[in-house]
Amino acid sequence: MSLEDAWHARPQLFFKCILRPQNGRPPKNPSWTRGPDDLEATLVFFSTFEELKLPATGPMDRATTKLYEPSPTPILYVAPCELMLGRVPLYPCFLQGNATPTIPHKLQHLKASAFQYGIADAAAVDGRRGSNVYEVNPWLWQFGRGRPRLGG
């Protein structure tokens, strides 16, 4: 699988659950909770990031991927943990001199084409309501660090 086909997501909850197939046999003893056909699955509940599709203004814009968090309603999924690839180096992205790492109000007219599931800041100076914006650092992702991260 290529990284272009991968989703960028933020795990919210890791959990295990026991699944019983449709015609699965129940437990032999009524006090047991697991039957002989039951499957244990390790799952992750996660919210996704969407790609911010703004016109590139220079070589750095073409070399990096910008992501935003859909808001006000996040996009949520559940998937097996084995499908997760690892950490992605994300950094807050301050677009067009914006004081906060959110979608600026002046990009509101691009909502349909650039950030369909997000919102821009309000027109007021203190109107920080826009979707959070992040930039993927491809160099750190590709070449990594010489030492392990703290905590694992």
What is the model's pLDDT at position 85? 81
Task: Flag whether pLDDT at 136 surpasses 80.
Answer: yes
Domain map (residue ranges) of the chain = 3-143
pTM of the model: 0.74
pLDDT tens figures, 40-56: 999 999 999 999 988 87
The whole-angstrom separation of Cα 73 and Cα 93 is 21
**Mean pLDDT, residues 113-122:** 88
Confidence of residue 72 (pLDDT cuts 50, 70, 90): confident
Give me the helices (H) in the chain, please.
59-63, 111-114, 138-143
Mean pLDDT (the chain, rounded): 84
pLDDT tens figures, 96-113: 888 888 888 888 888 888
User: 59, 92 in Cβ contact below 8 A?
Assistant: no
The whole-angstrom separation of Cα 19 and Cα 37 is 9
